[in-house]
């Protein structure tokens, strides 16, 4: 199980190299771009606290409204991908800590799977688009989506259909797992 988590982290980190967060400028395909375009999607800490950022782009769509909507939706989807991995990690951690009983029992696993699906769909309502950048050379439009950890926790509180133990465990361990994911991303960036 640890190996599959490591493989997923490696894939996620590879994807992160193509996207970003921040306020500085860097060179992206020969053009000065905001740092978030180059830095990529992931879990970060900023001046307002712990956050998840999703970065995505759209290109070749002539209708400006449709171009923007497509880039925005793709950025939200990047947050969802990060968040699905994040909640899956929380769920696996929860399952590992609760398997002291009968290993043939599957009800807890089903509750955890439901928690992942429910929390992921709920938190997407808290994702906001906070920035855009238009590459002047290519016309590619980039969108930056943001979900803060506090909003995630508030949404989790509203998840009444979650098993109480699963909900409490996720709430108690969200900060620790955010920090672990952030550390893994830093390791991947250093390579």
Residue 141's pLDDT is 97
Mean pLDDT value across residues 23-48: 80
How is residue 97 written in tokens? Answer: 């800590």
pTM, full prediction:
0.58
Residue range 155-174, pLDDT digits in tens = 766 665 556 666 677 777 77
Under the banding of pLDDT at 50, 70 and 90, the label for residue 56 is very high
178, 153 in Cβ contact below 8 A? Answer: no
Which run of H or of E encompasses 9?
A: helix 2-16
The H-assigned helical ranges of 17-163 are: 35-39, 64-98, 107-123, 149-157
Residue range 84-102, pLDDT digits in tens = 666 565 556 555 545 445 5
Domain boundaries, the chain: 2-190
What span, in angstroms and rounded, lies between the C-alpha atoms of 86 and 136?
34
104, 90 in Cβ contact below 8 A? Answer: no
CA angle 15–19–24, rounded 5-degree value = 145
- From 29, 13, 56, select the one nearest 146 (Cα to Cα): 56
Which run of H or of E encompasses 169?
A: helix 164-190
Which run of H or of E encompasses 27?
A: strand 25-28
Residue 186's pLDDT is 77
39, 22 in Cβ contact below 8 A? Answer: yes
Residue range 102-157, pLDDT digits in tens = 555 544 444 444 455 545 555 566 789 999 999 999 999 999 999 888 877 777 66
Rg (CA), the chain: 18
What span, in angstroms and rounded, lies between the C-alpha atoms of 157 and 25?
38
């Amino acid at each position: 199980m640890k190996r599959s988590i490591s493989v997923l982290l490696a894939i996620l980190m590879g994807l992160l190299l193509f996207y970003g967060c921040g306020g500085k400028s860097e060179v992206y395909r020969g053009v000065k771009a905001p740092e978030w375009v180059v830095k990529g999607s992931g879990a970060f800490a900023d001046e307002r606290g712990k956050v998840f950022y999703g970065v995505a782009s759209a290109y070749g769509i002539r209708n400006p409204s449709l171009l923007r909507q497509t880039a925005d939706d793709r950025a939200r989807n990047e947050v969802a991908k990060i968040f699905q991995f994040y909640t899956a990690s929380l769920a696996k951690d929860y399952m590992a800590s609760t398997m002291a009983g009968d290993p043939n029992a599957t009800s807890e696993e089903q509750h955890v799977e439901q928690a992942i699906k429910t929390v992921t769909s709920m938190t997407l309502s808290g994702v906001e688009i906070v920035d855009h950048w238009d590459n002047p050379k290519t016309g590619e439009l980039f969108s930056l989506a943001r979900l803060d950890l506090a909003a995630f926790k508030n949404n989790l509180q509203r998840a009444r259909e979650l098993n109480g133990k699963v909900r409490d465990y996720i709430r108690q361990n969200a900060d620790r797992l955010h920090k672990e994911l952030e550390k893994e991303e830093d390791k991947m960036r250093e390579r």
